[in-house]
């Protein structure tokens, strides 16, 4: 997994579209045609978890248009069973979701990875 980010988005991923602000996830994995991304983020004084963004191979999607906190969390998977995540346990749903509450059944808990946005107004995360 490669991670990059800066306030100006240098051309570090040739062939991928650039984002002017917000958080963008890019799919450079070769195991599947798509990856699905879920995030945890701070908005309007509350923490939210939301997903799913379906990102085709060699493409990018903005998953968060404004950056309100230095940190966010992500969890991603592809159709071949590959997972990008970490140790921070957050709740998901199997279909499109935006969750504010903290109640969650154990089968919907996944390990999210903490992402330091370094106080940037724009950030790109490339999953390989």
Q: What is the mean pLDDT of residues 12-18?
A: 49
Q: Percent of the chain having pLDDT more than 90?
A: 55
Q: What is the pLDDT of residue 104?
A: 85
Q: Where are the domains of the chain?
A: 20-120
- Residue 108: its pLDDT value, please? 92
pLDDT per position as a tens digit, 86-128? 999 999 999 999 998 777 888 899 999 999 998 888 899 999 9
- DSSP structure string for the chain: -EEE--SS--S-STTSPP-SSEEEEEE--SSSSEEEEEEEEEETTEEEEEEEEEEETTEEEEEESS--SSEEEEEEEETTS-EE--SEEEE--SSSEEE--S---GGGEEEEEEEE-TT-SEEEEEE-
What is the overall mean pLDDT for the chain?
A: 83
Residues 35-85: tens digit of each pLDDT = 999 999 988 888 899 999 999 999 999 999 877 788 999 999 998 899 999
């Amino acid at each position: 997994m490669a991670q990059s980010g800066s306030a100006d988005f240098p051309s570090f991923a040739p062939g991928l579209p650039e984002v002017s602000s917000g958080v963008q996830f890019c799919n450079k994995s070769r195991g599947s045609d798509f990856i699905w991304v879920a995030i945890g983020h701070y908005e309007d004084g509350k923490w939210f978890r939301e997903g799913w963004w379906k990102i085709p191979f060699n493409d990018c999607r903005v998953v968060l248009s404004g950056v309100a906190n230095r940190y966010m969390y992500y969890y991603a998977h592809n159709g071949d069973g590959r997972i990008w995540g970490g140790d921070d346990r957050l709740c998901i749903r199997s279909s499109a979701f935006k969750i504010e509450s903290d109640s969650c059944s154990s089968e919907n808990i996944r390990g999210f990875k903490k992402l330091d946005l370094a106080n940037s107004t724009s950030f790109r995360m490339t999953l390989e």
